Amino acid sequence: MVKVGVFGANGRVGQLVIDDLKKTDDISLSSVFVREKLNFSIDPSILVSTNVKSFLKACDIVIDFSLPKACETLLEAAIETPTPLVIGTTGLSMHQLNLIKQASESMPVLYATNMSLGVALLNKLVHQASAALEGFDIEIVEMHHKHKKDAPSGTALTLGESAATARGLDLNNVRISGRDGNIGERTKDEISVMALRGGDIVGRHTVGFYNDGEFIELNHTATSRNTFSKGAIRAASWLVGKEIGLYSISDCLEL
């Protein structure tokens, strides 16, 4: 039986991971990490810890849905005590992304800004469409619930990277994050990534390719947050026992 540690256990997704792990046969919850205390009751055999090292020692693999600073703490601890990691936290800084790379030199790490099968496929479709639809303008819109803290979403940035690399561009050089005022005409290569927030929207991403006379929009809507918790558990089952290295959700889904 694979022992899973959940980092960010009180969170919206962390709680679902804990619930969904009750329904699996080959993988089960062994420890949870919390900042102060767990906000709900749990089987007394599970270690509830505020100490990252003891949390890591009690599990074979970690599933993380937390916040950037917390994820950084986890990565620093894991670099000292190597433990396979499935990371879903978004809004990471360059330093935190580099820590993921560093961690993956001593343990298997799967990092995915979106754990759903649908978005993994959407990334491939966006890459293909961006290369094929030469000259079409690319615009990305994401919509999420009002509690989301980072913007734009990690998924929208990953989709933007797929679109940009398909055209030999670096998203950092062509990304627009807002338009306001007398800004002039749209430039050829720019890719806007716009974020909308409201209500309880689980997650919606649209990548549009616009030309004179026609346009195509590729859209994915998550209607349940369990899509992410179940996707992360599937990723953990797949990652455990893999060679040291950095893996993507496409590797896990063999897309």
Ligand X SMILES: O=C(O)C1=N[C@H](C(=O)O)C[C@H](O)C1
Ligand Y SMILES: NC(=O)C1=CN([C@@H]2O[C@H](COP(=O)(O)OP(=O)(O)OC[C@H]3O[C@@H](n4cnc5c(N)ncnc54)[C@H](OP(=O)(O)O)[C@@H]3O)[C@@H](O)[C@H]2O)C=CC1
**Token digits for 95?**
């330093």
**Token digits for 235?**
């990723």
Question: Minimum distance between the CB of residue 115 and ligand Y, rounded to whole angstroms?
Answer: 4
Which residues, 19 to 48, sit near ligand X by CB under 6 A? none
Tell me if residue 148 is catalytic: yes
Question: Minimum distance between the CB of residue 230 and ligand X, rounded to whole angstroms?
Answer: 13
Which residue in the block uniquely carries the two structure tokens 């599937």?
Answer: 234
Selected catalytic residue, list 127, 144, 205, 220: 144
Residue closer to ligand X, measured from CB, 48 or 201: 201
Question: Minimum distance between the CB of residue 133 and ligand Y, rounded to whole angstroms?
Answer: 27
Cis previous bond, 84, omega within 30: no
DSSP strand E in 58-113: where? 61-64, 85-87, 108-111
Q: Among ligand X, ligand Y, none, what binds residue 251 when CB lies within 5 to 8 Å by partner kind?
A: none
Residue closer to ligand X, measured from CB, 132 or 255: 255
Q: Return the C-alpha torsion angle 44, 46, 51, 54, nearest 10.
A: 120
Which residues, 181 to 200, sit near ligand X by CB under 6 A? none
Q: What does DSSP assign to residue 67?
A: -
Which residues, 140 to 179, sit near ligand X by CB under 6 A? 144, 148, 153-155
Structural contact between residues 216 and 233, judged by C-beta atoms closer than 8 angstroms: no
Residue closer to ligand X, measured from CB, 22 or 147: 147
Q: Which residues bind ligand Y (CB under 6 A)?
A: 8-14, 34-36, 65-67, 69-70, 73, 88-91, 112-115, 150, 228
Selected catalytic residue, list 22, 23, 57, 148: 148
In one-letter notation, the amino acid at residue 165 is T
109 assigned ligand-binding residue: no
Closest to 78 (Cα-Cα) out of 110, 116, 42: 110
User: Sheet holding 203-211: strands in order across?
Assistant: 175-176, 191-197, 137-144, 203-211, 214-222
Tell me if residue 95 is catalytic: no
Using CA atoms, how far residue 75 sits from 69, 100, 108, in Å, is 10, 7, 12
Question: Minimum distance between the CB of residue 195 and ligand X, rounded to whole angstroms?
Answer: 9
Structural contact between residues 181 and 230, judged by C-beta atoms closer than 8 angstroms: no
Q: Among ligand Y, ligand X, none, what binds residue 144 when CB lies within 5 to 8 Å by partner kind?
A: ligand X
Question: Minimum distance between the CB of residue 155 and ligand X, rounded to whole angstroms?
Answer: 3
In one-letter notation, the amino acid at residue 152 is P
Structural contact between residues 203 and 122, judged by C-beta atoms closer than 8 angstroms: no
Q: Which residues bind ligand X (CB under 6 A)?
A: 90, 113-114, 144, 148, 153-155, 203
Binding residues for NAD(+): 8-13, 36, 88-90, 112-115
Residues with catalytic function: 144, 148
